[in-house]
Amino acid sequence: MPTLAIQANKVGAGLVINHGHGTFVTAKEIGENCLLDQMVTIGYNNESVPPTIGNNVTVHVGATIVGEVHIGNNSIIGANTLVIADVPSDVTVLGVPAKIIVARKPAVPHRQSITNPKKTNDAS
C-alpha cells in the first residue's frame, strides 16, 4: 500500500507536499501554490463528488477534508481539523468539525498607475 496517493482531475502549478507519508488525496481540483502536510486525507464521504481545493491553500498535519466541499482561496486548514462543509476564502479553520478562527481581508489589488489622468489641449 502506498503512503502517498494523489488523484485529481486538475492539479495547479506549485503544489508542495511536505513529508507525504500517510497522505491520501482524491480531489476534483487542486488549485495553484497549495501546500499539503503529512497525514492529510482529502476525499469522498458517501457522495460521488470529491472536494475542490482553491489556490494558495495550506492543509496542515492530520487534517481531513471530505465530501463535495469547496475550500476557498488563501485559506488555512489547521492541524487535525475535520472539514465537512465549504470553507470561504481568506480564513483559517480549526477543530472537529472545522470552525473559522481567523478571517482575513483579501489582499488589496495593486494600485494602477495613472499616466495621464486628464489630457488638456492647453496651447499656452
21 noted as active-site residue: yes
Take residue 48 and report the three cell numbers written for it. Answer: 460521488
Burial of 28: CB neighbours in 10 Å, binned 0-12, 13-18, 19+ = middle
Catalytic-labelled residue, pool 19, 21, 60, 110 = 21
- Look up residue 2 and give its amino acid: P
d(CA 17, CA 59): 10
Whole-number Å distance between alpha carbons of 50 and 71:
11
Measured at the CA of 74, the angle between CA 112 and CA 88, to 5 degrees, comes to: 110
Which residue's C-alpha cell is 466541499?
69
Q: Which residues are catalytic?
A: 21
